[in-house]
Amino acid sequence: MSSRGLRSRQSSGVSRIRDDQITDLVSKLQLLIPQLRRGRSHKVSASKVLQETRNYIRSLHREVEDLSHRLSELLASTDIDNDQAAIIRSLLM
Amino acid sequence: MASFLPDLEPGPEMSPEFERKKRRKTEGNPSSFHPTQGNRRIKQWRTQREQRIYSSNLIESLRRSPTATGNYVRDMAYRFLAVSAKGTTRWSRAILLGRLAAGAKMRKHKRAKVGANRKLRKPVSNIQKRKLPAVERKLKTLGRLVPGCRKLPLANLLEEASDYIAALEMQVRSMTAISEFLASGGAQPPAGRLVNS
């Protein structure tokens, strides 16, 4: 485990390589985050991208939580019978 | 209501054959991350096919457990999501191995890590001193959010995070479509969402 950790590789030579990697990968990550894609695409710092990524993942987690609870409530009130399951499946496939 | 990346156009680029070939390639090396492979995986999350398969699995499990609580639904949702990844990513493997186990480990690790960080940051050169800690801190918090990725080196962590985000987006799209369908009483198919998103 320690061989893979960031900390075990801290020397100035490796840090320079990591900087390039950071900017490259961070710019790719930037493309995935909705807030960062619109407009000011080239002025965003790595730190900001990471922060927004974090916030975005957290908001997605929250959405999944809310949707899960909503689905459980809907399930309680409307049982999915065989017909409906078939409908859904035919819509999906 | 959330917006689901209206700019993206999934579907047409993915023929079933191409997806099958892609799957064979990505199943080879779970720990090596090439940018092109990562991109292909991310695109797969955005295909209609992937969403259909996921939705179908989720619906089936929900149908079998109509008294499911919100937590149960959520656990099922994440489990199926991890299954959809077919073991190609670290976060999906971590979920499958058990979210409870990961939670317990996290508490132990938090205490051990704080001391280790401070000692090991000192050898870094002066120029890097200001920059590294901030970015590293943020990388670490990001690592905590993605399952199983807390000790991952930079490149892999960002790859995992990208894939995880794409997967989560699909999950949200799917669950939204299902809940809309159920909310409408199951009688009318929701326009567009299930098929076109």
List average pLDDT for each run of 10 residues in chain B, which is 197 residues long.
47 51 47 65 86 88 85 91 88 79 53 51 53 75 85 82 92 90 64 46
Using a CB-CB cut-off of 8 Å, the residues of chain A touching B138 are 47, 50-51, 54
- In chain A, what percentage of residues exceed pLDDT 90? 18
Q: According to the model, what pLDDT value does residue B194 have?
A: 47
If you average pLDDT over residues A45-67, what whole number do you get?
90
Q: Under an 8 A CB cutoff, do B123 and A10 touch?
A: yes
Q: According to the model, what pLDDT value does residue B104 have?
A: 53
Q: Under an 8 A CB cutoff, do B182 and A75 touch?
A: yes
Q: According to the model, what pLDDT value does residue B61 have?
A: 87
Pick from A51, A61, A71: CB nearest B175: A71
If you average pLDDT over residues A57-86, what whole number do you get?
84
What is the rounded distance in angstroms from the CA atom of residue A37 to the CA atom of residue B183? 33
Q: According to the model, what pLDDT value does residue B41 have?
A: 81
If you average pLDDT over residues A47-66, what whole number do you get?
91
Using a CB-CB cut-off of 8 Å, the residues of chain B touching A72 are 68-70, 72-73
Q: According to the model, what pLDDT value does residue A80 have?
A: 65
Q: Under an 8 A CB cutoff, do A72 and B73 touch?
A: yes
What is the rounded distance in angstroms from the CA atom of residue A76 to the CA atom of residue B65? 10
Instruction: Return residues 47-86 of A near B (CB < 8 Å).
Output: 47, 50-51, 53-54, 56-58, 60-61, 63-65, 67-76, 78-80, 84-85
- The pair of three-digit structure tokens given for residue A93, joined into one six-digit string: 């496939």
Question: Which residue in B has a C-alpha nearest to residue A82's C-alpha?
Answer: B63
φ, ψ of residue B79 in degrees (nearest 5): -65, -45
Q: According to the model, what pLDDT value does residue B122 have?
A: 52
The secondary structure of residue B187, as a DSSP letter, is T
How large is the ipTM? 0.72
CB B147 within 8 A of CB B30: no
What is the rounded distance in angstroms from the CA atom of residue B157 to the CA atom of residue B139? 8
A:B CB pairs within 8 Å: 170
pLDDT band of residue A66 (cuts 50, 70, 90) is very high
Using one digit for the tens of pLDDT, what is the confidence trace for B183-196? Answer: 876 554 444 444 44
Pick from B141, B146, B183: CB nearest A74: B183
Pick from A46, A79, A88: CB nearest B66: A79
State the residue for tokens 């205490």: B111
Q: Under an 8 A CB cutoff, do B168 and A71 touch?
A: no
Question: Which residue in A has a C-alpha nearest to residue B138's C-alpha?
Answer: A50
3 state SS of A7: helix
Is any Cβ of chain B less than 8 angstroms from the Cβ of A27?
no
- The pair of three-digit structure tokens given for residue B71, joined into one six-digit string: 């937590």
Residue B4's CB: how many other CB atoms inside 10 A? 15
Which residue type occupies A49?
Answer: V
